[in-house]
């Protein structure tokens, strides 16, 4: 997973982004990826469609902003990590972020989830922010503050803090 962390960190360096929240749309633009809000149904959070180096990320417009941000970062993860694995219809690669991928039990989906977490919540940024927070006897207080700062869900932040062994 540290290779994935490094890929996300390098992308942030190349885009010149060095403070939270990460403007994920700006990262997509830097990579030449177009983002479109779409009606994807209740079970689908996002989709990556690519043809060579050109790509479009469709993101479910009915989902909350923080979830859309994670979905975009997840699809950027597929774009960066999984070039050319599966093709459908004339060389187009289509990947959906749905309930199964959200569970993070499939290899590529676990990679994309890890990339999204590393992109939106870089390890060093999270550690610095965590240690700068005022002491709070409730885990929820810290989670809320950090989730707000990074514009992610409390669930995503909780998982990230556990992965970084801060909780």
pLDDT of residue 22: 99
More confident call, 3 vs 44: 3
| Beta-strand pair 54-60/33-38 | parallel
Could you tell me the pTM of the whole model? 0.85
CA distance 139 to 7: 30
Helix, strand, coil: what percent of the chain each, to 5?
55, 15, 30
Q: Please give the domain boundaries of the chain with CATH numbers for all domains.
A: 2-121 (1.10.10.2910)
| Alpha-carbon dihedral 15, 17, 23, 25, rounded to 10 degrees | 0
Here the tokens at position 71 are 């979905």
Residue with tokens 């962390």: 5
Distance from C-alpha of 87 to C-alpha of 92, rounded to nearest angstrom = 6
**Mean pLDDT across 126-154:** 88
40, 58 Cβ separation under 8 angstroms: yes
Single out the residue of 39, 61, 36 nearest to residue 49, CA to CA. 36
**In the chain, what percentage of residues exceed pLDDT 70?**
83
pLDDT tens digits along 46-99? 888 888 778 999 999 999 999 999 999 999 999 999 876 432 223 344 455 445
Number of Cβ atoms within 10 Å of the Cβ of 163:
17
């Amino acid at each position: 997973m540290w290779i994935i962390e490094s890929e996300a960190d390098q992308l942030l360096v190349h885009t010149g982004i060095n403070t939270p929240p990460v403007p994920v749309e700006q990262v997509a633009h830097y990579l030449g990826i177009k983002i479109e809000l779409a009606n994807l149904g209740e079970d689908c959070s996002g989709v990556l469609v690519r043809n060579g180096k050109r790509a479009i990320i469709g993101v479910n417009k009915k989902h909350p902003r923080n979830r859309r941000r994670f979905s975009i970062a997840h699809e950027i993860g597929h774009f960066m990590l999984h070039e050319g694995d599966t093709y459908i219809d004339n060389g187009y690669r289509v990947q959906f972020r749905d309930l199964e991928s959200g569970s993070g039990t499939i290899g590529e989906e676990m990679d994309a989830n890890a990339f999204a977490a590393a992109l939106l919540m870089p390890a060093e940024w999270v550690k610095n922010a965590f240690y700068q927070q005022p002491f709070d006897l409730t885990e929820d207080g810290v989670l809320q503050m950090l989730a707000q700062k990074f514009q992610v869900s409390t669930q995503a932040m909780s998982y990230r803090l556990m992965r970084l062994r801060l909780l």
